[in-house]
Amino acid sequence: MASEPVNVNEFQELARQVLPKMYYDYYSGGAEDQFTLKENVEAFRKITLRPRVLVDVSRINMSTTILGYKVSAPIMIAPSAMHQLAHPEGEVATARAAAASNTIMILSYNSTCTVEEVASSCNAIRFFQLYIHKRRDISAQMVQRAEKNGYKAIVLTVDVPRLGRREADIKNKMVAPQLKNFEGLISTALDSDEGSNLEAVARATYDDSLCWEDVIGWLKSITNLPILVKGILTHEDARKAVEVGVAGIVVSNHGARQLNYTPATISVLEEVIQAVGGKVPVLFDGGIRRGTDVFKALALGAQAVLVGRPVIYGLAANGEDGVRKVMKMLKDELELTMALSGCPSVKDITRSHVRTECDRLRSML
């Protein structure tokens, strides 16, 4: 009998064993030759910890608040598409696991369960991810449905004017299923000469003419929910986001699925933090596989981290229980890292607890 996973990384192999190759490749793959996909994880290894000793860590408090909502730990569930390709219960199972973990799930715009099904599945705080459709009325309907069903924020993904080139999906002839949220509104029955129809669907669907003032102003005109932008990698865009009045920023390169050779997100987190200057909360997305990764992101200024692929791998391996185990492993590892680093609470984690490559270079000058 195979042994139970002892860390989050081991769920990836379990998912690979149970998923059809097409779906595993869809979830695990990145853009082009996947340089950034590897860097998202590898960059964490270049950051070392600077623990403090002889600190009372008999009680560790990992709780924090996100936009005023209390969570048990600064670890949220990132928006990722089409969970029913990983498990029949799809996003409903993920939502229940998030509720059991007392954390926030961001439901994907491209979920296979409807906004209403996820909302009625359990009592929890949820945010809704949004893309802007070429037909604004479709996006407006989704925002209104999310607001009506108790979602607490809109997370606008801004790094997909076009879909990145995902070569595994092209080779596998990956075809997007019809999503229940859009029945009667959008068809995925589009052919593509390249094999996969995902790029053709995205090109027909997403508005690639968006600009800052237009889209944020329009969103504010149709909802009272706070608006976060996901996909920020530079200080220029971080400042622009603050200028147009967003409620928060998610540092993200879309799981390295869009533009290859963008930097690992952990390597630009501090740049964004400094540009924002505390005006809005900054969340972090990309490459989280260990509690030490969470700790490093918090030390560099993130208010919380988002976890994507590990949640999918847990879902594929064992449904709701698999997602619960992934979240518990990360929380347990974070708690241990905090104790061994001399940080009894999240607010005790500071920049002085980590040493980056830039720190090392500066010390040599």
User: pLDDT truncated to tens, each residue of the chain (365 aa)?
Assistant: 468 999 999 999 999 999 999 999 999 999 999 999 999 999 999 999 999 999 999 999 999 999 999 999 999 999 999 999 999 999 999 999 999 999 999 999 999 999 999 999 999 999 999 999 999 999 999 999 999 999 999 999 999 999 999 999 999 999 888 899 988 887 665 555 556 778 878 888 889 999 998 999 999 999 999 999 999 999 999 999 999 999 999 999 999 999 999 999 999 999 999 999 999 999 999 999 999 999 999 999 999 999 999 999 999 999 999 999 999 999 999 999 999 999 999 999 999 999 998 888 888 77
Domain covering 8-363, topology: TIM Barrel (3.20.20)
Are 331 and 62 in contact by the 8 Å Cβ rule? The answer is yes
- 10 Å Cβ neighbour count for 93? 25
Locate the domains of the chain by residue range.
8-363
Which residues make Cβ contacts (< 8 Å) with residue 47, sequence separation at least 6? 266, 296, 354, 355, 356, 357
How far is residue 79's CA from residue 255's CA, in Å, rounded to a whole number?
Answer: 11
Residue 52 assigned ligand-binding role: no
Residue 252 assigned ligand-binding role: yes
Residue 52 carries which DSSP code? Answer: -
Residue 88 assigned ligand-binding role: no
Residue 235 assigned ligand-binding role: no
How far is residue 16's CA from residue 296's CA, in Å, rounded to a whole number?
Answer: 28
Task: Give pLDDT, residue 200.
Answer: 79
Are 153 and 126 in contact by the 8 Å Cβ rule? The answer is no
Are 192 and 203 in contact by the 8 Å Cβ rule? The answer is no
Residue 119 assigned ligand-binding role: no
Residue 235 annotated among the catalytic residues of the structure: no
- Nearest by Cα to 101 from 295, 360, 325, 339: 325
Task: Give pLDDT, residue 149.
Answer: 98
Residue 129 assigned ligand-binding role: yes
How far is residue 280's CA from residue 228's CA, in Å, rounded to a whole number?
Answer: 9
Q: What is the pTM of this model?
A: 0.95
Task: Spell out the alpha helix ranges (H) of the chain.
Answer: 9-18, 21-28, 35-42, 90-100, 115-121, 136-148, 167-172, 198-205, 212-222, 235-243, 265-276, 291-299, 309-341, 357-364
Residue in this structure with the two tokens 């990722």, named with its chain if needed? 80
Residue in this structure with the two tokens 């190759």, named with its chain if needed? 21
- 10 Å Cβ neighbour count for 2? 8
CA atoms within 13 A on the CB side of 221: 10
User: Which 3-state string (H, E, C) describes 246-295?
Assistant: CCEEEECCHHHCCCCCCCCHHHHHHHHHHHHCCCCCEEEECCCCCHHHHH
How far is residue 326's CA from residue 211's CA, in Å, rounded to a whole number?
Answer: 37
Q: Which of these is catalytic: 87, 133, 254, 353?
A: 254
Residue 313 assigned ligand-binding role: no
